């Protein structure tokens, strides 16, 4: 799902509330979990207060944001057996469900979200938990990622990682596709 513009806008709104530069905050947020972002860009502020504001902005974004499925997403997700894939996200399940409902994309049977793990991406923990719950050996898993922290997480879990939706490969990814639509037939071919 293409939520990049919404995420950027949300982080800019968060930064404005603290008198910070939105571009700088967003750049840090792309690489770290929220609590780490707050420590880096707003060390003098209460992290619980920072997180409460972020959650309020994200919940509002789920209700009012503009979301679009990446080209090829509906066909790809519709072609995956629900019990053979998981969505591993640094966000929370209720927000993911809300965004997927707004785009009409099918959801997997398993969502590993921020509340599911003590350590998020780039730790291997989220992807290892997904593999365990799917009953899969991590070395048999394929991770599709567009974020550097997600690529590092999948690699640390011992999985094959393909980067998508960017002009250049994310460092470490085994393969790269400029768009999800380009990757979709290759992803589906791995199911055979």
pLDDT tens-digit readout, 90-114? 889 999 999 998 889 999 999 999 9
Q: How is the chain split into domains, by residue range? A: 4-64, 73-189
- What is the C-alpha separation between 146 and 170, in angstroms, rounded? 8
**The predicted structure's pLDDT at residue 33:** 80
Please list the ranges in the chain whose pLDDT falls under 50.
none
- What is the C-alpha separation between 184 and 77, in angstroms, rounded? 9
**The predicted structure's pLDDT at residue 166:** 87
Q: Is the peptide bond before 122 cis (omega within 30 degrees of 0)?
A: yes
Write down the CATH superfamily of domain 73-189: HAD superfamily/HAD-like (3.40.50.1000)
């Amino acid at each position: 799902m293409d939520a990049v513009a919404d995420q950027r806008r949300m982080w800019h709104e968060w930064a404005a509330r603290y008198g910070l530069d939105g571009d700088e905050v967003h750049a840090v947020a792309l690489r770290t979990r929220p609590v780490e972002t707050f420590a880096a860009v707003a060390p003098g502020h209460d992290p619980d207060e920072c997180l409460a504001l972020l959650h309020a902005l994200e919940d509002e974004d789920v209700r009012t944001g503009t979301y679009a499925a990446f080209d090829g997403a509906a066909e790809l997700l519709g072609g995956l057996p629900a019990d053979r894939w998981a969505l591993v996200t640094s966000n929370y399940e209720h927000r993911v469900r809300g965004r997927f409902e707004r785009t009409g994309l099918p959801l997997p049977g398993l969502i590993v979200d921020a509340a599911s793990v003590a350590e998020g991406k780039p730790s291997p923990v989220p992807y290892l938990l997904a593999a365990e719950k799917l009953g899969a050996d991590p070395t048999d898993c394929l991770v599709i990622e567009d974020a550097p922290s997600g690529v590092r997480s999948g690699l640390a879990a011992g999985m094959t990682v393909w980067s998508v939706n960017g002009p250049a490969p994310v460092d470490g990814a085994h393969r790269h596709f400029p768009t999800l639509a380009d990757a979709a037939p290759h992803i589906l071919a791995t199911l055979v």
